[in-house]
Amino acid sequence: MSDIPALRLDGFLPYRLSVLSNAVSAKIAKIYQQEFDLSIWQWRIIAVLGERKGLTSTEVAQRTLMDKPTVSRAAASLIERGILERHIDRDDRRRAPMRLTDEGEAIYAAVLPRALESERELLDALSPDEAATLHRLLSRLSAVASPDMPLWGEDE
């Protein structure tokens, strides 16, 4: 017999969080994939830049924990489609901040209410106290999982 403990994936927190994250992403993805032909990675870039304009690919990668090549490929395809634009920073030529174009802003404005509605549907399964507890617990877990780099703001 082996001394290796058995792993029940259905009870293993990292597995459960990953699968739930994928399910939630897939639910919301239906909105922007069907109507705007966007991948999850492309939408994440649009969502981040819709909230914080002028981030570089590196900053988007840090904020989303997407790897840099994935961000670069998704950003390049969004630039090619006219959804995103990138400009070299005059003061620091190594920086190339990105912004949504008017079309990108329109996509963001069209998807955002539906994404928020999808979030509301999820949170409707919880009481207001449970939802607040969930947010607190996620913040505490994020501090353990990523102690050197906050995953999101403290108010979330």
Range of the domain at 42: 31-145
CATH number (domain holding residue 65): 1.10.10.10
Structural domain contains residue 43: yes
Structural domain contains residue 80: yes
How far, in Å, are 51, 77, 103, 126, 135 from residue 82 at the CA level? 19, 9, 7, 40, 36
C-alpha–C-alpha distance, residues 66 and 44, integer Å:
9
Structural domain contains residue 26: no
54-105 confidence digits (pLDDT tens): 999 999 999 999 999 999 999 999 999 999 999 887 777 678 899 999 999 9
Domain count, the chain: 1
- Alpha helices by DSSP H, listed for 10-156, are 13-36, 40-51, 57-64, 68-80, 102-123, 128-145
Determine phi and psi for 92, rounding to 5 degrees. Answer: -135, 95
Structural domain contains residue 10: no
Structural domain contains residue 19: no
Structural domain contains residue 139: yes
Q: Which neighbouring-strand residues pair with 98?
A: 55, 86
The model's pTM: 0.85
21-50 confidence digits (pLDDT tens): 999 999 889 889 999 999 999 999 999 999
Are the beta carbons of 86 and 100 closer than 8 angstroms? no
C-alpha–C-alpha distance, residues 130 and 148, integer Å:
28
Are the beta carbons of 66 and 41 closer than 8 angstroms? yes
Structural domain contains residue 24: no
Structural domain contains residue 23: no
